[in-house]
Amino acid sequence: MPTAPDPTRAAPPPGPSPSGRQVRDPDLPALMRSLPIDPRRRLPIPAVTAHHPNGDLDFTTVDGATALRLASEGRCTICGKPFHGPVAFLGGVGAAVVGVYFDPPMHPVISTPGL
């Protein structure tokens, strides 16, 4: 069940920062703070987010070609930065048993905000 927002925590100021990107939530992992922001949802846009021909984002679909390229280069498919340690794959028990995951590899610290 969703929880109500914490009234003691200040919301980030609206609008773009001087760099043209939205002001970041301080609770986001540092690796995610440089990601572009979807202006409609005000969420970071993962590197593998599918883009429709008209430019709309599809947060429910992984761009397979980008995911394969980043993974083969040893880079996180969320932030695009290189791995320098453990790698996380998200999935349930069944995915772990067979070793097949639908989400591509990412930094462990990045894997938890979306859960």
> Regarding predicted confidence, which is higher, 50 or 8?
50
Q: Give the global pTM.
A: 0.70
With a CB cutoff of 8 Å and minimum separation 6, the contacts of 70 are 47, 48, 76, 77, 80, 104
pLDDT reported for residue 115: 64
pLDDT tens, 59-96? 999 999 999 999 999 999 999 999 999 999 888 899 88
Closest CA to 22 of 47, 48, 8, 41: 41
pLDDT tens, 32-45? 888 998 888 888 99
